[in-house]
Amino acid sequence: MNDVLLRIQQCMEDFSPNHLEIAKYILANPHCLEDYTARELAEKTYSVPSSIISFSKKIGYSGFQEMKFNYGNSPLEMDRTEKDILRPYQAVYKLLNTKNYLETVAALINAKRIYIFAFQMSQVAALDFYLKVHKVDPTKIIFFRSFDEQVRNIPLLSKDDIVLMISNSGECQEIIDCQKYLPKGIKKILVTNGIESTLSEFCTYELSIGCFEQDILTFKEIPTDSRNALLYLMDRIFNDMIKSNYDEALEKIKKSSLFFSNI
């Protein structure tokens, strides 16, 4: 496998949040290392050129140019296991910049509030997204970690809100059962790995990644690759939601941060 991509994968757990975004982007778009300058890569990852340089040093290179050189002069053939590692990121990347994706992001931006439905393993991606949005605007997003609480608080919803359903398989029976209680006319977004799932029948917008596990049991009960795909897609949605007012969003995050409040 390409040495640069291998180093990035091996360091995933050690990256700072900023470096993690850069890593995810490179893994999903490896040829960016051939095509982009440090400044162009920084723009694509909502960072700055100095972050690209520090990222390069983090994985053992002297700077971006050495990382770029090593990518272009390293074997690119990947075995099946290595391709599987990149698969979730590549599956998500196919959705980005599609009309459906852009309309979904616009709907979330314009929503008065976002009310999340998620159950079991899908709550991992749901909670991560909730915590990010809550840092920017705590009044915009609602998520109860107990599914019973999610159901119990449906009366909080109004027609100006959006229901965000995150379901790995798209077949979550609990969320399906809730459809009859939701306000008529309310917009619903489904984020899933399922294809033509039952929940797709109820949604206004659907982002279907289609990243499956090799075994149906692991896909439904202990998703790994498909869960990573959900996490990455929710990360990209969040980034695109704050992109138009990025500086303002950073200020709000800074104000809510315990770390920065002590500096």
In a domain, 83, yes or no: no
In a domain, 55, yes or no: yes
Verify that 70 and 119 share a domain, yes or no. Answer: no
In a domain, 25, yes or no: yes
Verify that 130 and 254 share a domain, yes or no. Answer: yes
Q: Which domain holds residue 42?
A: 3-77
Verify that 219 and 162 share a domain, yes or no. Answer: yes
Q: What is the pLDDT of residues 177-218, one digit of tens each?
A: 999 999 999 999 999 999 889 999 999 999 999 888 766 666
In a domain, 86, yes or no: no
Verify that 141 and 226 share a domain, yes or no. Answer: yes
Q: Which of 22, 47, 77 is the last residue of a domain?
A: 77
Q: Which of 45, 77, 109 is the last residue of a domain?
A: 77
pLDDT of 79 above 70: no
Nearest to 134 by CA among 121, 116, 149: 116
| Confidence class for position 74, pLDDT limits 50, 70, 90 | low
Verify that 145 and 188 share a domain, yes or no. Answer: yes
In a domain, 263, yes or no: no
**Region of poorest pLDDT, from 12-16, 38-42, 47-51, 250-254:** 250-254
| Confidence class for position 82, pLDDT limits 50, 70, 90 | low
The CATH number given to whatever domain includes residue 121 is: 3.40.50.10490
In a domain, 89, yes or no: no
pLDDT of 256 above 80: no
Nearest to 229 by CA among 108, 43, 48, 84: 84
In a domain, 141, yes or no: yes
How many domains is the chain partitioned into structurally?
2
Verify that 128 and 34 share a domain, yes or no. Answer: no
Verify that 34 and 154 share a domain, yes or no. Answer: no
Verify that 54 and 132 share a domain, yes or no. Answer: no
In a domain, 153, yes or no: yes
Verify that 58 and 103 share a domain, yes or no. Answer: no
The CATH number given to whatever domain includes residue 27 is: 1.10.10.10
Verify that 193 and 109 share a domain, yes or no. Answer: yes
What residues are paired with 118 via a beta bridge? 166
Verify that 249 and 126 share a domain, yes or no. Answer: yes
Q: What is the pLDDT of residues 38-58, one digit of tens each?
A: 999 999 999 999 999 999 999
Q: Which of 31, 47, 77 is the last residue of a domain?
A: 77
Q: What is the pLDDT of residues 117-166, one digit of tens each?
A: 999 889 999 999 999 999 999 999 999 989 899 999 999 999 899 999 99
Nearest to 125 by CA among 224, 216, 197, 196: 224
Verify that 41 and 146 share a domain, yes or no. Answer: no
- Tokens 């705590």: give the residue: 138
